Structure 1
């Protein structure tokens, strides 16, 4: 069961599709094995970058079943939904299938601190005993959750055990949350997203790891391992080797397509298909990704990685 001590790399998994848009189950299996082999300590499925909103309700539960049956690490399932009934249905099914916890992002209709707090009170009540992750991603949700509101949710909702931190810029928020827990507030796990753009700085501020889907998940595992071992310089060297690709994949609107293309090039998934709405990459963009991959491999060799 997911709890406040979670750390490491919870990779945000893509959802592999066939060229006709059907779910590619063979690639699902291969992807799960790959993420774990590259150092994932957990997986998060049906998130925003997993194209959860493009799956039917009838498809979501089989995806959860397939991944939980295959995985040897904890699974977090995204259950964000416009209404609480749909959220509860998917959450209950996910937990029954062996998920460790669920993740909930706020709907864009929330405008005030009181509305956000009420929403997460209702979320905790709806989910029952299921531990949940509060996803703080204002760049996409358009909901800004102040530090004081997160602390109040944590104080009021014992089943909120993790923050998926994707505020941008948000390093000061991590520091503020850790300062509060040092002063006696309940300490929860903080795993960070944003494609790993600020991973090392986030760790230095007190984060427990990463929850993001960068197509080279080994980077995150290696950076965190080096940092945990006290070798910050080595962690910086590793991060620097991957930074051009991290930067390129972080492009708004293209990031998921780049991620899927890279995973397909690495042999992890068979196709880089995005479900509509969502298209592929131009030949020029693919060439740029390929060039970055070659340069990245050369740099890693020169560093002896």
Structure 2
């Protein structure tokens, strides 16, 4: 089994902001409390959903600090600390380590289009420089470069590289990762659409967008699967698919920010070049109806 610290439902947290773009620390702290109360197994600040790509270095560290302080050791904090520049990723990882996070999430370098041996050099340099567990993050839909299973297997031999968030949505890739990396390597889904089959293929959990508005539902799905109650887990999986489709109808995190706004847990605003969801539009109407259907909104 994978490291017990990296199993279950980890929420890829939105970052509440105001219309001026400033980070709302109080709303972020309330969000952390709501997530922990709902039973999530870990929290991920400053990932894709947290809009880390639009943050300054200081803002990035500030968000991680606010979340880590609010969590107070109750669940693991897996802090996004990736960059397409190896030196910057090392700097972010060092800063996160000083804040006491459990691990860092390190994304495949985007834009540069590195070869597979370049990926190995990048991730091993971070792992050598900072004595902190690393969860790799493969999301080729955003980075262009796809990290191949054989590359992950090579990296898994490093003592500080303990798992991967696989957002390919490809279950054959998930099976290859389990086969090549062994049972102790944490295999986390980065694709809410394929969560249940991912678990059945040998996955250990999910780093989820959907668990922002629906944390208890995702935790229940995971618990039911672990208890062998597959029919009930399947029913919950299909129940969350409509919400998943709606949340990804616009580029993430536009729709999930709107959903959290409807629930009173975040501002609606996202940073440019994204734009907020039109609350009078068809997608917003569908979101409201779905949240009500799931008993998340009165």
Structure 2 length normalisation: TM-score?
Answer: 0.91
Give the distance between the partners of 2:140 and 2:216, measured in 1 at CA: 27
Give 1:113 deviation, angstroms: 2.1
The alignment partner of 1:10 has SS state of strand
Show structure 1 runs of 4+ deviating over 4 A. Answer: none
Q: Is the 2:7–2:205 Cα contact (8 Å) retained in structure 1?
A: yes
Quote the RMSD (CA, aligned, Å). Answer: 1.9
CA deviation digits over 1:131-186, x for unaligned, max 9? 1110011111111111111101112x210011001013x211121222235xxx47
SS of 1:110's equivalent in the other structure is coil
The question of 1:210 aligning with 2:206 is answered yes
Residues 1:187 and 2:184 are matched in the alignment: yes
Distance 2:66 2:253 in 1: 22
Q: Aligned match of 1:256 in 241, 253, 256?
A: 253
Name the SS for the 1:43 alignment partner: strand
8 Å Cα contact 2:82/2:92 also seen in 1? no
| Distance verdict in 2 for CA 1:224–1:102, change over 3 Å | same
Q: CA deviation at 1:27?
A: 0.3
Q: CA deviation at 1:45?
A: 0.7
2:223 equivalent in structure 1: 225
Match of 1:289 among 280, 287, 290: 287
Structure 1 window deviating more from structure 2 (64-73 vs 79-88): it is 79-88
Q: Does 1:165 align with 2:166?
A: yes
Match of 2:97 in 1: 95
Residue aligning to 1:276? 272
| Aligned residue number for residue 88 of structure 2 | 86
Which residue of 2 is the match for residue 115 of structure 1?
A: 118
Matched, 1:241 2:239: yes
The worse-fitting range, judged by mean Cα deviation, of 22-31 and 52-61 is: 52-61
Distance in 1 separating the partners of 2:37 and 2:294 = 20
Go from structure 1 to structure 2 and tell me whether the alpha carbon gap of 1:110 and 1:83 turns closer, same or farther (over 3 Å shift). same
1: CA distance between counterparts of 2:277 and 2:59?
26
Any stretches of 5+ residues in structure 1 without a counterpart? 299-305
Aligned to 1:124: 127
2:54 alignment partner in structure 1: 54
For structure 2, the 5+ residue unaligned runs are none
Once the two structures are TM-superposed, the CA of residue 297 in structure 1 deviates from its matched residue by 3.4
Normalising by structure 1, report the TM-score: 0.89
Shift of 1:121: 2.1
Alpha-carbon separation, structure 1, partners of 2:250 and 2:107: 19
Query: What is the total number of aligned residue pairs between the two structures?
Result: 288
Q: CA–CA distance in 2 between the matches of 1:140 and 1:297?
A: 32
Q: Is the 8 A contact 2:10 2:43 kept in 1?
A: yes
Per the alignment, residue 301 of structure 1 pairs with none
**Greater mean deviation of Cα atoms: 170-179 or 202-211:** 170-179
